Every structure is written in C-alpha cells, then in structure tokens.
Structure 1
Amino acid sequence: MTKRLETITGEKLFELELKESRVIIENILPSGLHILAGSPKIGKSWLVLWLCQMIATGETVWGFKTTKGKVLYLCLEDKLPRIKSRLMSITENASEATAFATETLPLGGGLVAQIENYIINNPETMLVVIDTLQQVRTLGSDNISYANDYKDISALKSISDKYDIAIVCVHHLRKMKDDDPFNMISGSMGLSGSADGSYVLVRDNRMSSKAKLFITGRDIPDTELRLEFDKVNCLWKLIEHDAYDEFENDEPIIRAICDYIREKKSYYNTSTHLLSELAKCGYKEEITPATLSKKLRSHADILNEKFNIYIEFIRKSDKRILSIRDGNDTNDSNIA
C-alpha cells in the first residue's frame, strides 16, 4: 500500500514556532552547505583560514558579527608546516577552537561519518571547511554529471541541516568567462543548484590585489563585496560593500518606512496595514505584504546601525505583527 503524504496546512504552519537557521556571519554566511569558488592561487585558502580564525575567536568579519564557536578546517592540499606558517601570518594567537586535518576519507567512503563524529564530540562546532571539494571526491573530472554532483553535495548538506552549522566547500572556476560569475563554478548545475549559498571570488586581473566576492544564497541577499588582499598581513580587506548603495538607491520601500517612522515614531500592526499607511503618504510601488516583511528582515541590521530604527517580528495566533520604533525617540508611550 502506498504511503500517504504527510502534509500541513498553511494555517497550521503559520502557528508553528519554528527555529530559524543559525547565522554564522551576519548577512554573509548562514548555516547550510555553501560553495566558495575561485581560480587557482587566487587566495581562497587565505580567505577561509581567516574566516575560521574570526569565528573561532568571535571577532567580526568586515564589520559583520559572527557567532563564536568551534571550527573544523579540512585543508587537504596543504601540509602542517604550511598551515602553521599561514596561521602565524594572520594572527599572533591561535585558537584552541580551530581544528585542522590534512587527510580524510573520501565522500561516499566515510567522510560524512568522520565529520558527523567530530560534530558529536564537539557540539559547539559552527563551521566546517573542505579545502578543496575535489580532494574528497572519488570521481574523476571526466565523470562529472548533474546526478553525481547533486549526490555529493546532498550528502554534505544533510550534515549542515541536521546540526544547523555551515559547511563551506572550496572549489574551482571554469576557465571560460561568463557575465554571470556563478555560471563559472566548475562542474554541473548540480553543485550550485543544490547548495544553500554560492560565493565566487574573482580578481580584477591576474596581477591585481583587488577582487570581487559575489554572494548569492537562499537565506542571504545577493551581495557584491570589493576586497583587496593585504600582502603584508595576508588578509582580504573590505574596501566597498554594494548592499549599502543598494539600500540607498534601489530600495525606496525601506526609505519610505524610514520617513514614516521618523514622523510617527512607532508602528505596531501588520505588514498589510503598513502598506496602506505608506500609500496614504504617497508611496505608489506595488509590493505584497510578504515581500515587505522579507525586505524588512534583510535590512533590519542596516536600519538599526545606520538609522537607529528597531524592528521586531511578533507572531500571534491569527496574524503576524510588525513592531517598529524610532530609537531616537525616548517617549515609550508612542508604542501602541
């Protein structure tokens, strides 16, 4: 007899108190399975080693907060002397929260069990880095297929989902250029399509110290970071973040909400009601309540840090409420 589908109604789903995915680096790295791709020798390993150090010590990454925890770095193209040299180049204080391994079993041959065993014995783990993905795959380059790529990624994704951690697989780019940097990730669409996030590091030119880091994912906004490699300190430094420019120029709904809250000082009602209030103030763009809530979630940190506006999402049995207040206003009686 065919097993019946397990279903849930939209109404019941809205009533559930579900845990949201953990954020490892705000606006940049949520929990899940991610691909970091770039050309050979571009500096991918320097970048992930520094990210490991920042998460292990709880320090910010380009000004973004991190969730402090243990890190497992599978550096499979290097030996311990090189890892030690690189670590000493980026920090004076190595952390006990970072563990390194230079050899593992392959995917499909015990790697998943090795990673899971480490996490079970180290429940504070936040990040696992596999550098590089090709080193743990048993297939040769001539056996690349969507099915095989999807199978490999799904095996790792199952761990990230089960333990709510981030797994970053360092990978290579195709030699062929493309207007969409994510199309340059080596392999089939099974890799990037099944991953929760993709990161592509591209230098301005081979001899340049400047590069762009393109970011896309299911739980993070599409972002482009302008970076420069500091050869003295061996660090990728942030020189420009386009998300702020996008906020200023391409998000009129957020600007309209800022103006509204500056005048009203506070708001406590649904997204639907807020859209009707903004329409009364002259805002004309058509946008759904769900899209408005999504935009507010993605811009909550920027609104807080740049404009001192605080947003809280409150769940009630029959509806979801937005609580927005002007942090510059000291009169709490304005809050409905």
Structure 2
Amino acid sequence: MKKFNSKSCEEIMTTVYKPIEFVVDGLLAQGLYILAGAPKVGKSWLALDMCLSIAKGEKVLGQETAQGTALYLCLEDSYARIQNRLYEITDEPTENLHFTVMSESIGSGLEEQIENFKKEHSDLKVVFIDTLQMIRESTDNGYGSDYKELSVLKNLADKLEIAIVVVHHTRKCSDSEPFNMISGSTGISGCVDESMVIVETKRGSRNAKLYCVGRDIENAEISLQFDSDLKKWIVTDEPTASKSKDNIFLAALYVYIQKKIDFTGTASELVTALKSISNEIFYPNRVTRDLVQNGYTLRQYGIDFLYKRTRNGRLIILHYDRERDSSDSKTSGEVTVNSLALKV
C-alpha cells in the first residue's frame, strides 16, 4: 500500500533547513526564473551582464552577487556574435563564464548536459538559457504542456541548488499587468519561482521598467536605462536605505553562550538569561523560530542547537564549540552585543 511521505507540523517547525542562497542579492536565488521581454528590447544584454557579474563577483543592477561559475546557453547566436558582445561589455575575460550555442531540448538530454557541467564545475551558480523556444520539444503552448516542460527545469534547479534563468518573449499586445504579457499560458509563470519582465516605457526609448515577482523576493519595479556606451542596463531609481538585517537576538545569544558554553532550558528561561547581556526585549514565542531559521548561521559561530520535547515541556539545548567558530569574534577580545552584527 502506498503512503504519503509526510512530516508533522512540529517536525517541520523544529528542523533546521538550509537557507535560501541568493546569486544576485534580493533578485536571483536558487530556483527557476523567467526573464521576458519584447524582441530586441535588450534581454540578452541584461542576461550577459548578469552572467559576467556573477562570474567576476561584481555588482549587477546595483546588487551584490555570489561569485561562481556561470553558463550561458546562447542558442540563437554564434560564437563570433558572442565575442563581439563580450568586447562591447568588458575587456577582462574570466574563466568562470562559459558559453554554448547548441544544446539538447527538455526531456531529450538537456538536463543531463547541465548536470554533467555541474559535475565539472562544482561552483556553478547560474545557467541562462536564451531562449525557451530553442529547448522545447512540444509545439503545444497549453497550460499543461508549459507547466510540465518547465517543471523539469524547476526540479533540476532545486536538485543542483543553482539558478536557471530562461529568456523568453512577451506578446505584442500591451497589458496593465506586465506578467500577463509573457508569451504562452499561465503555466509558465505558475511553475517558475520568479518572473522578471522588462518593458520599455516607449518602444526604442531605451528606458524601461523591470518588473519582478516571486516566491523568495519582495515584488519590485526597477527603473532602468540602457547605456549605449557600456552596453548595460543601469538602475535609475533613487537608492533607498536597505532594511537592517542585524539580528540582536542572535548577537546576544552569541555573547551569552561564549561565556556559558552550555545552556539547557525553556524559551522563557533563555530570554531571562539574556537579560544579563542585553536590554532588548525578546519574546519566548519567537525564540524557537529565530533559532531554527538561523541554524546555519549559528553553526558558523560554533553554536549547536537542539530542540527537545520532554514531559516537562520543550527544552532548548545549546552548546558552544570555540574550535568550530569560523567568525572573527572569537579572537577579538571582549565582545558586546552592540559591537557584534550577526547578519541573517
């Protein structure tokens, strides 16, 4: 008899899962993405800029990148055209960026090609596929066909823990909702983790908006202008102050556990103990959430976390191992909460 491979609510809420890693901060994480726009609007220039920036570990669209290998499937181009574009955008080659002008299609070898490339380049961060139509087997653009084909790439991106960005076209007709302009059925936008649509404010103006909506990002509208000299899309929005990602609770916990080494007790008892470290108000009902969701950060600071259910209630067990503390704080002398910024 077949059964569901289910997990209880408590198991899910107390398990430390690997956090989402962004390839382009706040814009591109691990998963499947669509980058859509009208023909000749400049999608490929944006794709090339993103690939090159990730390969070099440089900012793109004003955002930090996680440096690593990038693979660009330029399936509508030749190597001579790629060379011309590269010389337009940079004079510094990098070994981290790779190109191919031919590939198999979805379900007929493309997944194996990408997997084999990942085996050869373990630091692979992103794969750009330009364009979707070049890797499709089916001519059916119905919801079921769109979703089924893209779900293959979605599963592959999740399996390899990389970002796969598929370049696609928009319809000729305009729409007040940019994501309705993505060519094909809603199966495309429904399957991907994020949709990015670039729309010129006026055709040929080289001024555009990049509309972004996804599961792991905040919805955004980014104003862009294409710099004809640099051959890059430049963000023209006024910069806004980024929200602080400092976690005062984790900082206080780190200072406390460095001194005590071990802790076993309830969430309320931990909050009480942290009063000797910080004047901040911490809430017991949020303690477990912060510990679980930041488990990877805690491990980097040499802190092991265990959540145990007993007859007397739920206990939090913490242990600090200085030898496994990869931070600079362990050797920086007296550490205080204000001097320590734990980023989450």
1:196 aligns to 2:193 (yes or no): yes
1:177 aligns to 2:177 (yes or no): no
1:207 aligns to 2:211 (yes or no): no
Q: Is the contact between residue 225 and residue 241 of structure 1 (CA under 8 Å) also seen in structure 2?
A: no
1:228 aligns to 2:225 (yes or no): yes
> SS at 1:71's partner residue?
strand
Q: CA deviation at 1:273?
A: 7.3
Q: Aligned equivalents of 2:62 and 2:184: distance in 1? A: 33
Q: Is the contact between residue 198 and residue 215 of structure 1 (CA under 8 Å) also seen in structure 2?
A: yes
Q: Is the contact between residue 21 and residue 164 of structure 1 (CA under 8 Å) also seen in structure 2?
A: no
Q: 1:231 to 1:266 in 2, by over 3 A?
A: farther
Q: Is the contact between residue 147 and residue 190 of structure 1 (CA under 8 Å) also seen in structure 2?
A: yes
For the pair shown, the structure with the greater C-alpha radius of gyration is: 2
Q: Aligned equivalents of 1:118 and 1:226: distance in 2? A: 35
Q: CA deviation at 1:58?
A: 0.3
Deviations 1:29-57 (A, max 9, x none): 01100000000000000000010000000
| Partner in structure 2 of residue 269 of structure 1 | 282
Please report the RMSD computed on the Cα atoms of aligned residues, expressed in angstroms: 2.9
| Partner in structure 2 of residue 59 of structure 1 | 58
> SS at 2:237's partner residue?
strand
1:332 aligns to 2:331 (yes or no): no
Q: Aligned equivalents of 2:335 and 2:117: distance in 1? A: 51
Q: 1:63 to 1:266 in 2, by over 3 A?
A: farther
| Partner in structure 2 of residue 133 of structure 1 | 132
Q: 1:315 to 1:267 in 2, by over 3 A?
A: farther
Q: Is the contact between residue 32 and residue 196 of structure 1 (CA under 8 Å) also seen in structure 2?
A: yes
Which amino acid in structure 2 is aligned with residue 130 of structure 1? I
Which amino acid in structure 1 is aligned with residue 158 of structure 2? D
> SS at 2:280's partner residue?
strand
| Partner in structure 1 of residue 252 of structure 2 | none
Gaps of 5+ in 2: 244-277, 295-303, 308-313, 317-333, 340-344
More helix per residue: 1
| Partner in structure 2 of residue 12 of structure 1 | 11
Which amino acid in structure 1 is aligned with residue 237 of structure 2? E
Matches within 5 A, 1:7-156: 7-140=6-139, 143-156=140-153
User: Number of aligned pairs?
Assistant: 273
Gaps of 5+ in 1: 248-264, 275-289, 298-313, 321-329
Which amino acid in structure 1 is aligned with residue 15 of structure 2? L
Q: Aligned equivalents of 1:103 and 1:333: distance in 2? A: 54
Q: Is the contact between residue 54 and residue 61 of structure 1 (CA under 8 Å) also seen in structure 2?
A: yes
Which amino acid in structure 2 is aligned with residue 332 of structure 1? T
Q: Normalised by the size of structure 2, how large is the TM-score?
A: 0.73
Q: Normalised by the size of structure 1, how large is the TM-score?
A: 0.74
Q: Aligned equivalents of 1:271 and 1:91: distance in 2? A: 52
Q: CA deviation at 1:207?
A: 2.0
Q: CA deviation at 1:63?
A: 2.8
Q: Segments of 4+ in structure 1 off by > 4 A?
A: 271-274
| Partner in structure 2 of residue 277 of structure 1 | none
Q: Is the contact between residue 55 and residue 68 of structure 1 (CA under 8 Å) also seen in structure 2?
A: yes
Q: Is the contact between residue 32 and residue 167 of structure 1 (CA under 8 Å) also seen in structure 2?
A: yes
Q: CA deviation at 1:199?
A: 0.1
> SS at 2:46's partner residue?
helix
Q: CA deviation at 1:234?
A: 0.4
> SS at 2:122's partner residue?
coil
Q: CA deviation at 1:332?
A: 3.2
> SS at 1:126's partner residue?
strand
Q: Is the contact between residue 69 and residue 126 of structure 1 (CA under 8 Å) also seen in structure 2?
A: yes
Q: 1:208 to 1:11 in 2, by over 3 A?
A: same
Indicate the larger mover: 169-178 or 9-18. 9-18
